[in-house]
Amino acid sequence: MYDLLIIGAGSSGSAIAARASENPNLNILLIEAGPDYADTSTTPQDITNSHNNSYTAHDWGLNYNPTQYRTSPFPRGRVTGGSSSVNTTIALRGTPEDYDEWADLGNDAWSWKEVLPAFNRLERDLDYGDKAYHGDAGPVSIRRYPDAELLPAHQAFLASAGQLGYDDCPDANDPTGSGAGPQPMNKLGRLRISSALAYLAPARLRPNLTIRAKTHVRRLLIKNRVCIGIEVENSAGQTEQLFARTIVLSAGAIMSPAILMRSGLGPAAQLSKLSIPVVEDIPAVGQNLSDHPALSVVANVKSGVNINHDDPIIQTILRYTCAGSNKRNDLQIEQLSFAGRRQDPPRFAIAGVVEYQYGRGEIRLASADPMVNPIIDNRFCEDSRDASRLVTCLQDILRFTQSGPLADMIDSVVFPDPARGFDAASLDTLVRKFSASGYHPCGTVKMGPKEDPGAVVDQFGCCHTIDNLVVADASIMPFVPRANTNLTCIMIGEKIGEWLRQSPARYGL
């Protein structure tokens, strides 16, 4: 019998395990479906190598439907560190306005003023650690490529951005910042600073923290509206039950709602169809899927321009506001160092991303079988406000390809097909069909006050209808912030971990 059992050693779960285990009175079990690598010398290269994402070796093998016209693979990390162990290491915070909007929805503990100390605590910013809005002593090291280390395409991208009139932004995490500059990244040299490395490496030495890897959570055990434990399939393939006073679900925005639904907590009609006994009808579970719709312009480069698939895939960023929008920094443009397969003609891509999303999708179970992955329907760009801003973003990107230092490197644009034209109507058709995920799913177990029918947990992560059950990961965000989501997930882990450490009684401990 543990005090605390955490499901999922990802960006949030690792931070929670580390912070909560600072309280020596809490006996904690951290469960992870994937493998655990205790030190970097035994960690496979796809996990340590920050130059590109790891897509298959430590992955859940999910598929998703970004739009009703397409299905494609949807990567999610299945290893300690979770998706932070396989990701691009972009270390960006949302805009202060995102968190203030969360607070306005009835979550006053998540305003910018309230989340900033956790953002500062999690980082060791090697460039701006002395600023009031940065930290210099946290577990996650963050740096930006200096000019001398920028690849020619990234130097050209920043030079073109200047010529096109975008502001220079040396620190994209400056809360007032906007414009083009180096990307803040949680990497040291080539080494990806995952949450496993940042949080679990030091915490695993504590006698009150046990990490159990290769253990797949099948469902929660609920008795008289109290969560008392979990049922797992262990590494030997046997079913086992584990018990704790409080369970924290940190399996991410896809798997957390799936585990809740498999446990009978979800939309009753959907569960009944799959013959899952309904424990509590919670229609909001799996709804409100929020993410960043994205589409890239792809260009073949001129002969003599070196494209190397082993280079860091990203180094720079442009955060800016769409013409006519009242949401600051609601668009992102990212220069990618290479695109396509190694055997393709040398090419790179420039990604356009809608950062403030209006549309919503949903997660549904395909089966009651815990080994069957859920269905992910994003419905990207069905909301015209998202479609029109992605169209504008693509048109803004195309200007980079027409004149200036970046255009000088380009032989031809190969996507979108120039023969179809780049007018708004043609691009609108394209984004509604081909927009894809920035891999930032959020919102599927939304936090909010009890009166909000869309809220499953309160602002401390406690489930409204089941006692001793806490949810803490990307799924509790009311909506995706205007930034890549890893730092915000770690911030969630920092806050809820700290509350568990300092005020265990709030969580039934």
Ligand X SMILES: Cc1cc2nc3c(=O)[nH]c(=O)nc-3n(C[C@H](O)[C@H](O)[C@H](O)COP(=O)(O)OP(=O)(O)OC[C@H]3O[C@@H](n4cnc5c(N)ncnc54)[C@H](O)[C@@H]3O)c2cc1C
Q: Indicate the helix (H) or strand (E) that contains 227.
A: strand 226-233
Mark the segment that binds ligand X (CB under 6 A) among 234-242, 269-277, 294-302, 482-490: 482-490
What mask, x for binding ligand X by CB under 6 A, covers residues 370 to 409? ----------------------------------------
Of 151 and 480, CB closest to ligand X: 480
Q: DSSP class of residue 57?
A: T
Of 150 and 409, CB closest to ligand X: 150
Of 216 and 347, CB closest to ligand X: 216
- The tokens for 365 are 């179970």
Specify the residue for token string 């679900």.
249
Q: In this chain, which of 6, 180, 259, 295 binds ligand X, going by CB under 6 A?
A: 259
Told to check if 229 binds ligand X by CB under 6 A, we report: no
Angle subtended by helix axes 96-104 and 112-122, to nearest 10: 130
Q: In this chain, which of 473, 476, 478, 494 binds ligand X, going by CB under 6 A?
A: 473
For the chain, give the longest Cα–Cα distance: 69
C-alpha dihedral sign at 184, 190, 191, 195: positive
CA–CA dist 167, 196 (Å, integer) = 36
What mask, x for binding ligand X by CB under 6 A, covers residues 4 to 43? ---xxxxxxx-----------------xxxx---------
Site for ligand X in 65-84 (CB under 6 A): 75-78, 82-84
Residue among 465, 415, 416, 420 at smallest CA distance from 445: 465
DSSP string, 393-449: HHHHHHHHTTSSTTGGGEEEEEES-GGG---HHHHHHHHHHH-EE-S--B-TT-B--
Residue 208 CB neighbour total at 10 angstroms: 17
Specify the residue for token string 């401990």.
509
Q: In this chain, which of 287, 392, 444, 486 binds ligand X, going by CB under 6 A?
A: 486
E strand spans, 236-275:
239-249, 265-266
* Binding site as annotated, residues for FAD: 79, 217
- The tokens for 347 are 């090419």
Of 265 and 430, CB closest to ligand X: 265
* Binding site as annotated, residues: 79, 217
Report in angstroms how near the CB of residue 246 gets to ligand X at its nearest: 17
How many chain residues bind ligand X (CB under 6 A)? Answer: 41
Mark the segment that binds ligand X (CB under 6 A) among 139-147, 164-172, 244-252, 281-289: 244-252
Report in angstroms how near the CB of residue 253 gets to ligand X at its nearest: 6
Mark the segment that binds ligand X (CB under 6 A) among 164-172, 385-393, 481-489, 495-503: 481-489
What mask, x for binding ligand X by CB under 6 A, covers residues 77 to 116? xx---xxx-xxxxx--------------------------
Of 234 and 321, CB closest to ligand X: 234
Q: Is residue 405 within 8 Å of 153, Cβ to Cβ? A: no
C-alpha neighbours within 13 Å on the C-beta side of residue 322: 25
Residue nearest to ligand X (CB): 10
Q: Binding residues for ligand X, per CB under 6 A?
A: 7-13, 31-34, 53, 75-78, 82-84, 86-90, 216-217, 250-253, 255, 259, 439-440, 473-474, 484-487, 489
